[in-house]
Structure 1
Amino acid sequence: MSTQYINVIQHLAFEDLGSFEQVFQQLGFEIRYFHAGVNIPTEIYLDPAILIVLGGPIGVYETDIYPYLQDEIEGLKQRIAKDFATLGICLGAQLIAAACGAKVFGGHYKEIGFSRLNLSDAGFASPLKYLDGVYVLHWHGDTFDLPDQARHLASSIYYKQQAFAIGRKILALQFHVELNPANFEQWLIGHCCELNHAKIDILALREENVRYGKDLVVAAEKLLKDWLANV
């Protein structure tokens, strides 16, 4: 039997699969990372294997500065049209929204920190049901309109669009459910300029990771396995 694999698009070195990586490995998947602006082959968008598109600090609308973002959007358009299993996280979710023709734009508030989601009825009927009452990590300043063909799954106190699904195989999460609490210090170092500019209390953020990180890992594993069972 051949080894199953997943393709992963990474925009920033320390924003990787996080806790999801161990789950995929336990399930027997080979993980293949590709790096935006460096080595993303166009073939992966038409590869039926699962594709995970991860986060990063750049904006979907900055294609003049980061032209490879347009390549990602065009590739995701093809993938969505074929209904291939695709999961987008943060920037990845925004790229899926853009590929569906929805507007992605700067938000009114820099949402950074742990908080609970408000799940819609569709959210409770989706893999996000395991996040009910769980504090997830938010780390974004951009948002998007809900694509016409999508089901709205979750919101937060600051942003209506926190998650959506298209069919059963395409899932977009604005927040970070994949966080590995053991590696959180990399986020605090790597995003230090953004945190200072946004006047985020780094000590409090670190304490939140200790308080909520372990429960998030447990819920994230259940979410991922539920989604995988339907793709």
Structure 2
Amino acid sequence: MRIHYLQHVPFENPGIILSWAESRKYPVTCTRLFEDDKLPAGEDFDWLVIMGGPMNIYEEETYPWLIKEKEFIKTAISENKLILGLCLGAQLIADVIGGKVVKNQYSEIGWFPVTFTKEAMALPQFSHFPPNPVVFEWHGDTFTDLPKESMLIATNEACRNQAFAYGKRVYGFQFHLENTRQIITDLIENCRDEMVPGTYIQSVSEILAGKRFIDQNNQWMLQLLDKLENLQND
């Protein structure tokens, strides 16, 4: 199985997903859009992972590669690839399937609980999650008005739409289960200007104290990847 990921900034990579792929000896390739890398042909990958980033999906004038990226994601969906979008990645998926991406009432930065829906918990892909896991958030936008083929996976008070499934092979998560300690440290260093006082914005010390949650978040991601691997092989 060949995994390809789309990277928007140098400091946000797939984290624990890369470790999982390495343990399986799956080949991994990358398009660094911020370096204007070439996108692969559809026959060159099986899984697509779309990373986060501080830009917004509607900033095409500032980041013109967003235009070709959206077309690439749309094509990958039509080719029945297994796709996992994380934060900005989830918002990009939502946009290309006909949803809307708008500024959320609150920005979320830090460790917060989400609630998995009953419909999601009934699916084998998500049955290993507790009902209210504490996860890592870093976003100001959200996705809304998803098509009827979508299922809401998780929600919380700060942001109703935390995760969704589109059919059986496309998944978008507003939160980050993939982050390593280094990625979180780099996010703080590179995006500190977003950490203004807010209802759902934690301080640097609160975020660093929450690093105890990382191993559990990573374990949930590893279990999810195992289950998606079985789905890929069915």
With normalisation by structure 2, the TM-score equals: 0.89
- State the match for 1:117 in structure 2: 114
Give runs of aligned pairs for residues 128-143 of structure 1, distance below 5 A: 128-132=126-130, 133-143=132-142
8 Å Cα contact 2:2/2:45 also seen in 1: no
Which residue in the other structure is 1:33 paired with? 30
**SS at the partner of 1:178?**
coil
Amino acid of the structure 2 residue aligned with 1:195: M
How many aligned residue pairs are there?
227
Hey, what's the Cα distance between the residues in 2 that align with 1:197 and 1:63? 29
In structure 1, the partner of 2:180 is 180
SS across alignment from 1:130: coil
Tell me how far 1:157 sits from its aligned partner.
1.6
Aligned 8 A contact 2:12 2:183 in 1:
no
Alignment partner for residue 22 of structure 1, among 8, 19, 24? 19
Inter-partner Cα distance in structure 2 for 1:146 and 1:46: 31
SS of corresponding position for 2:179: coil
SS, match of residue 131 in structure 1: coil
Per the alignment, residue 10 of structure 2 pairs with 13
Range moving further from structure 2, 35-44 or 80-89 = 35-44
Deviation at 1:192? 1.6
Alpha carbons of structure 1 residues 67 and 126: separation in structure 2 relative to 1, 3 Å: farther
Root-mean-square deviation (CA), in Å? 1.9
Question: Where does the alignment leave 5 or more consecutive residues of structure 1 unmatched?
Answer: none
Once residues 180 and 187 of structure 2 are traced to their aligned partners in structure 1, the CA distance between those partners, rounded to angstroms, is 10
Q: Measured at CA, do residues 116 and 197 of structure 1 come closer, stay the same or move farther in structure 2, by a change above 3 Å? A: closer
Which residue of 77, 87, 103 corresponds with 1:90? Answer: 87
Corresponding residue SS for 1:224: helix
Give the letter for the 2:128 counterpart. Y
Once the two structures are aligned, what percentage of the paired residues are identical?
26
Q: Secondary structure of 1:188's match?
A: helix
User: 1:145 is matched with which residue?
Assistant: 144
Q: Could you give the per-residue CA deviations for residues 86-140 of structure 1, whole angstroms, max 9, x where no partner exists?
A: 1110000000001101111111111111122211122211523333242110110
The 5 Å alignment of 1:151-190 reads 151-190=151-190
With normalisation by structure 1, the TM-score equals 0.90
Structure 2: how far apart are the matches of 1:156 and 1:45? 35
CA–CA distance in 2 between the matches of 1:83 and 1:197?
A: 42
Could you say which residue in structure 2 is the equivalent of 1:62?
Answer: 59
Residue segments in structure 2 that go unaligned for 5+ positions in a row: none
Structure 2 distance, partners of 1:99, 1:222, is: 27
Q: Which amino acid aligns with 1:141?
A: G
Q: Please name the residue that 2:216 is paired with.
A: 215
8 Å contact 1:146–1:164 — kept in the other structure?
Answer: no
Task: Tell me the equivalent position of 1:224.
Answer: 225
Other structure's SS at 1:230 match = helix
Could you tell which deviates more after superposition, 78-87 or 197-206?
197-206
Q: Which amino acid aligns with 1:165?
A: A
Q: CA deviation at 1:183?
A: 4.2
